[in-house]
Structure 1
């Protein structure tokens, strides 16, 4: 029921080309790529904020080992 085959994909592509036109599709794809690149860098920045690096001149925190 939820399977998308080749005929359905072709219909979707034709509808997109008709709605947006062939001239706008490269610009739309470029904008989408830029947006995804920005989103990816922001997500990476969030992960980096979780584990801050020690500042210069400060010793790194000692690892705690279980006894």
Structure 2
């Protein structure tokens, strides 16, 4: 989406923002945008970490299931 804007488009957006909000409000708006972006990245990182943790637990459970079934098979062969 943003890749199709280009440099002239960004300059036009900044000029329009300057006209609408004025030079005194732009730093405040920039800080708010930066904080929002940081919170979004943090939330995304937390979600992916939880997903990775869940996948790791599933793999460990699968390995335990395989080792239990292998042990049961070995006991059946011995008896």
Q: Does TM, normalized by the shorter one, top 0.5?
A: yes
Q: TM-score, normalised by structure 2?
A: 0.53
Q: How does 1:14-33 map to 2 (within 5 A)?
A: 14-33=15-34
Q: CA RMSD in A?
A: 2.8
Give the equivalent residue in structure 1 for 2:43. 42
Higher helix share: 2
Q: TM-score, normalised by structure 1?
A: 0.61
Q: Unaligned 5+ residue runs, structure 2?
A: 67-79
